[in-house]
Chains A and B, each alone.
Chain A
């Protein structure tokens, strides 16, 4: 596309174009290295775009979903409150709307599914959407007036059991076995993340939400004109805490266990937690990748400028300014980064979409807003461009500042001096090729160090990804295997007397049964408070033991509280301190109780008490709300049958099923991320080793050719070049194992919450896999370079002056 007369228009017209041609040819000549750097940059951009676009999609989708379905902003439950109270609640400043409901758990029998299933029954007005937490109807219709047996199922539950409108199942509601008919399938913003009692993960087979007409539930549970659950909508700008305070005062005498803001609503909490995790990812990983990319572009450009010395001198002799020369090389860096950015954009957009779809599927959003903001792409491009330019700034400046006369002379031979290391007794003991390797490293220690760090980053990224599985396995091990000896836990509808325990012990297949109590309480210690629960368990429990994550069974003292370390930390308490406990149930006693011991747990922040002490505190004798059971597997069907028919039973949680479900969810979600990260880690390892060996080959091709002339075999000269890389890899791998532990620690600490703490566990096999994957990536790049080494043109190298 020659423009006629262009050469005359500007004195630089043609030369600049010639310079651009040189640029393109340089890029082509360096294509392997350009690509290797581009891949590292692309990885950084991809993670950034993926996390930011998923973050944005997740946030926008959730917001839109909540907005559209009028997700409540304050939630509260009570034992039983009259509907006239609603008027009073409505007058609390900031309250926009109030939706009162009836919520109960029920045991369900579903044909073809042997185990008991827990149903979360939630009332909705007959023939209409509730005011808040409206349903998204996916199939069928809402319940109609005058049909108390109609039910709308949550979609994940319906799908798990293959149920459609028209199907029916049985539910034990307040001692009455009822047959319910499915009329619709729906989703609710309140149950995006549906988690059953005692479970860690959603289990759509064994726990499901369903909506039934309010009148039907009022009748079934004798709550005529009353409610036991509330959801509030607030006016814009209202502080939920103020409303909660007033609400709690109103609800106290009706058995209110304390209202919670949306932020603490369990389903929302998990969603927000996921969003937080994306945020952490969007900062740490791109930083690593772009830092490595900056280092690599510095290395490659530094080498290119060294080989371009005489050309730079020539350009300057022709009258090019320092700025023009600098700009020429800056353009080269930008072109390298540009390739990476475009690759990263494409990969990031795709991964972001995949990532968001995984979330959308997992959470079953009825809508999905994925329209990545161009700003996200712009941020990715800016950040990586700046990183690459910053990395190569030194090299570009060196090129620009070379005086032309000096530039046209060949560079002085690299100066090696006797140093303590290079001249030591140790080195004299080595053969010459090994001395070459060591002196090379000692001469450019920072370059060597950065190469090792780059390799370490590759290992660390991989460890960080794999380490999740180890940590989760540890949680499952401690929580389900070490601590819990029971096979199932049965929740009872009301507090029951001791004789209930005997009833359970007589059931088919029951080998042991232990009672358990739980109450919502508010802890006060100085200015700190925590709303949680105390569990009462028997002396020397055999099934539900208090297990310290450090691996010890904690003895339950007859009096006083046993706190989890996380709770003790939150309340700033230690053994021997006293804590005020306001029970939010029953007669709502208030006590000051000493902390007698601490234990560490990964899940929840439970406080334990001896069940007898618990009952004394509550002012009740010998009662229980839960029974934990150890059962004989062969008698399970008979036991299930009996449990399903027992009116006292509100919920049955099976440990095996919980573990299975937990592992399944993990396998579905985490493994996908691990494969992403494995790919990124390989890109890093490959990029670093390929570039550093390619540059070493270019710098030392002459040296290696000389050795070939002297009669060294290909293998022997490969030893010099790849031996150096090997040594740096050898340093990088253990460094990576350490860095990986640090990164893992950072990520797991970032995930710490009241609901769970993720222990940093890195199995030896995780380190081994990470090391092997990186090693494979580096070996691949070494093999590529070795191939070039084998085709070294001896004569061409030796005939030219460097």
Chain B
């Protein structure tokens, strides 16, 4: 792995070192992460592949400031966030990270554009909600409530909401997991576009190997470890994927 990092001249946006995470559930300890080193470089699109239970979501949660590691460090640019208290983590999430989940988690009582405004109202240099929604192809559906949108549309609103604050990192956890392939590709196109046009460092978790083809780099995950990391020679456009 190290030769490839050395080959990179790009700077590191987010890195985790020797991360472990142990959950104490009843009598047994579950080791979700068993010492993970990972770096996300400025502007790259990384796909983390792995079977369910391999610890990739735990890693993403820790990188995104939703959870703390049992040991190890997380560094965002020059800031150490591992030891941060609740307010440091909130600040980090508020200004630097965008999340997209498998279940879109939109606020049902707010329209698409209001769901985006939720974030832009508290951000420092946000884009216009309409602009964000146009970026994901929903410029026509600004005033619709979540219940009036299809699943794919809801997920794209979630992406617009995640990127409208111009985050430094976009973390997507199984963003197509609840969608059919056709709709899933629309969502991936939106992610791809954000990554390309805004240069947002993006990590996508999936168990769908096909999605790896659209990445700059694919990291394979298994049983709490990084199994391998390989760089794609060329990124395939999301629209060309099929599964």
Contact = CB atoms under 8 A, between A and B. Distances in A.
Interface of A: 412-418, 431-433, 435-436, 439-440, 443, 702-703, 705-714, 716, 794-795, 798-802
B227 interface: no
17 contacts: A415-B108, A416-B108, A416-B147, A431-B121, A432-B115, A432-B118, A432-B121, A433-B118, A435-B110, A435-B114, A436-B107, A709-B64, A709-B93, A710-B118, A712-B94, A798-B103, A802-B103
Contacts of A712: 90, 94, 122
Contacts of A416: 108-109, 145-147
Contact of A708 (B67, B90, B108, B146): B90
A415 B147 contact: yes
A300 B233 CA distance: 58
Contacts of A435: 109-110, 114
Interface string B103-117: 101111110001101
A706 B66 CA distance: 11
Interface of chain A, main secondary structure: helix
Contacts of A711: 90-91, 93-95, 97, 119, 122
A443 B109 contact: yes
A708 B105 CA distance: 12
B122 to A, nearest CB: 7
Contacts of B103: 798, 800-802
B66 A432 contact: no
Nearest to B158: A706
B19 to A, nearest CB: 16
Nearest to A720: B107
B56 interface: no
Contacts, number: 90
A436 B109 contact: yes
Specify which of A431, A432, A714, A801 lies most central, judged by the most chain B CB atoms within 10 Å of its CB. A432
Nearest to B67: A795
A706 B173 CA distance: 14
A716 B114 CA distance: 17
Contacts of B161: 710
Given A436-B107, A436-B109, A802-B103, 20 more contacts: A414-B108, A415-B147, A415-B148, A416-B108, A416-B109, A416-B146, A435-B109, A435-B110, A439-B110, A705-B105, A706-B106, A710-B93, A710-B99, A711-B94, A713-B90, A714-B86, A714-B90, A716-B122, A800-B103, A801-B178
Interface string B42-82: 00000000000000010001001011000000000000000
Interface in B119-137: 119, 121-122
B87 interface: yes
A712 B161 CA distance: 13
B119 A436 contact: no
Given A711-B95, A801-B103, A414 B147 contact: yes
B84 interface: no
Contacts of A415: 108, 145, 147-148
Interface in B206-226: none
A-B pairs, top 5 by smallest CB distance, nearest first, are: A711-B94, A439-B109, A711-B93, A706-B105, A432-B118
A432 B121 CA distance: 8
Specify which of B93, B107, B178 lies most central, judged by the most chain A CB atoms within 10 Å of its CB. B107
A418 B90 contact: no
A416 to B, nearest CB: 4
Contact of B109 (A440, A705, A708, A713): A440
Interface of B: 57, 61, 64, 66-67, 86-87, 90-91, 93-95, 97, 99, 101, 103, 105-110, 114-115, 117-119, 121-122, 143, 145-148, 161, 178
Contacts of B118: 432-433, 707, 710
A409 to B, nearest CB: 14
A443 B147 CA distance: 14
A795 B23 CA distance: 13
Specify which of B64, B148, B161 lies most central, judged by the most chain A CB atoms within 10 Å of its CB. B148
A706 B143 CA distance: 20
B110 A713 contact: no
Nearest to B96: A711
Nearest to A423: B143
A371 B86 CA distance: 59
Nearest to A440: B109
Contacts of B64: 709
Contacts of B114: 432, 435
A417 B175 CA distance: 26
B200 to A, nearest CB: 16
Contacts of B57: 799
B144 to A, nearest CB: 9
A703 B108 contact: yes
A413 B144 CA distance: 13
Nearest to A443: B109
A702 B105 contact: yes
Contacts of A433: 118
B66 A709 contact: yes
A707 B99 CA distance: 11
A439 B115 CA distance: 13
Contacts of B107: 432, 436, 703, 706-707
A706 to B, nearest CB: 4
A432 B110 contact: yes
Contact of B87 (A705, A713, A798): A713
Specify which of B108, B114, B148 lies most central, judged by the most chain A CB atoms within 10 Å of its CB. B108
A279 to B, nearest CB: 48
Given A709-B66, A795-B66, A418 B143 contact: yes
B26 to A, nearest CB: 16
Nearest to A412: B147
Contacts of A443: 109
Contacts of A716: 122
B146 A710 contact: no
Nearest to B144: A418
Contacts of B145: 415-418
Contacts of B110: 432, 435-436, 439
A709 B122 contact: no
A794 B66 contact: yes
Contacts of A794: 66-67
Contacts of B108: 413-416, 703
B127 to A, nearest CB: 15
A150 B119 CA distance: 93
B30 to A, nearest CB: 14
A499 B108 CA distance: 91
Nearest to B58: A795
A414 B93 CA distance: 27
A712 B91 CA distance: 8
A432 B117 contact: yes
Contacts of B146: 413, 416
A414 B117 CA distance: 20
Nearest to B165: A711
Contacts of A413: 108, 146-147
A435 B108 CA distance: 11
Contacts of B147: 412-416
Nearest to A437: B109
A192 B90 CA distance: 71
Specify which of A702, A706, A710, A802 lies most central, judged by the most chain B CB atoms within 10 Å of its CB. A710
A799 B101 CA distance: 8
A708 to B, nearest CB: 7
A254 B178 CA distance: 103
Contacts of A418: 143, 145
A696 B5 CA distance: 49
A431 B178 CA distance: 31
Contacts of A702: 105
A795 to B, nearest CB: 6
Contacts of B90: 708, 711-714
A716 B121 CA distance: 12
A415 B107 CA distance: 11
Nearest to B86: A714
Contacts of B119: 710-711
A437 B121 CA distance: 16
Contacts of B109: 414, 416, 435-436, 439-440, 443
